[in-house]
Amino acid sequence: MQPRLRIMSPDSTDAPATNPHSRWQLVRLILSEYLQSQRILIEWGSAIAVPFLLIRDSTNAHTMMATWSLYTILLALYTTSVLADIAEQPFQIQRLLAVQSRRTYISAYLIAAIIIVMSSYVIMMTLSFFVAPIAHPSPMVLVVSIPCMCLLISVVAALMLMLTPLVASTQQRIVVLLIITIPLSWNIIGPAVLRVIGPNYTSLMAGVTTLWGILLWPTLHLYTTTITPKIDYVMLAVLLFHVVLLSIFIRQIIVWFNKKSLTIA
């Protein structure tokens, strides 16, 4: 059954001033409004604070890049959730009528989130060079690590968008969270389950543990590559895996968003 939009009479005080008609027009409008609302001060302010508070006088490039990666992952989670809240506001959804495509609408907010996070990443890297020049990685290391970071940010932002009420139902979010948290906490859950089911299932539990490790390894390797990049076939395979994973996430976001009941005020 095709999802329908419930259309209510617009309020002139809340209605957007302009309605874009393409994905990139919508992206530019989202970014412009984000700047005008001064929400960007949180991302850019934190990007300025991190070098001075956490990286200042550092002499270790590995530590500096690890700080960059952790900060950027957390920022991607925050920015995507904020933009998802904005996209869910009824007067914002009016623009869906202009672009006439739910895929265009939801993908524009995902692209905007990635751009905002990447801009903060660039600000942080630039300032880090001035506050801790000794620890700054070589240009070749940066060239290799930036594509990995872009892909990691995109995957994290897509996953966060998938977990927002704008896209997923409560049941869908629970399923996705279980898929994520069980492997991450298996070192705690596994022994507890083994104590309940008994030692006869030790081999089965070992197999499950190996399976979780295989599932987590590509993403852990991608994160490691953003800190200590190394060009080899393994890196290329991990990048290809995450391109496919990102495509799956985006497809699932579009499928779930197409089924959402939206109200346009």
3-state secondary structure string across the chain: CCCCEEECCCCCCCCCCCCCCCHHHHHHHHHHHHHHCCCHHHHHHHHHHHHHHHHCCCCCHHHHHHHHHHHHHHHHHHHHHHHHHHHCCHHHHCHHHHHCCHHHHHHHHHHHHHHHHHHHHHHHHHHHHHHCCCCCCCHHHHHHHHHHHHHHHHHHHHHHHHCCCCCCCHHHHHHHHHHHHHHHCHHHHHHHHHHHHCHHHHHHHHHHHHHHHHHHHHHHHHHHHHHCCCCCHHHHHHHHHHHHHHHHHHHHHHHHHHCCCEEEC
Q: Kindly report each contact of residues 121-124 with a partner whose C-beta sits within 8 Å and lies 24 or more positions away, as own/partner.
A: 121/47, 121/68, 121/72, 121/75, 121/149, 121/153, 123/44, 123/47, 123/48, 124/47, 124/48, 124/50, 124/51, 124/68, 124/71, 124/72
Q: How confident is the model at residue 167 (pLDDT cuts 50, 70, 90)?
A: very high
Segment 74-80 shows an average pLDDT of 95
Give whichever of 9-18, 52-61, 89-98, 153-162 has the largest mean pLDDT.
Answer: 153-162
Q: How confident is the model at residue 252 (pLDDT cuts 50, 70, 90)?
A: very high
Average model confidence (pLDDT) across the chain: 81
pLDDT of residue 152: 92
Whole-structure pTM value:
0.82
Q: What is the pLDDT of residues 81-94, one digit of tens each?
A: 999 999 888 777 77
Segment 237-244 shows an average pLDDT of 90
pLDDT of residue 119: 95
Q: What is the pLDDT of residues 23-59, one digit of tens each?
A: 888 899 999 999 998 999 999 999 999 999 888 877 7
Segment 211-227 shows an average pLDDT of 75
**pLDDT for 164 beyond 50:** yes
Segment 12-16 shows an average pLDDT of 41
Segment 155-166 shows an average pLDDT of 93
Q: How confident is the model at residue 6 (pLDDT cuts 50, 70, 90)?
A: very low
pLDDT of residue 244: 93
Q: What is the pLDDT of residues 169-217, one digit of tens each?
A: 889 888 888 777 766 665 666 666 666 666 665 565 556 565 655 666 7
pLDDT of residue 8: 40
pLDDT of residue 235: 84
pLDDT of residue 15: 41
Q: How confident is the model at residue 13 (pLDDT cuts 50, 70, 90)?
A: very low
pLDDT of residue 144: 85
Asked if 116 and 81 touch (Cβ cutoff 8 Å), the reply is no
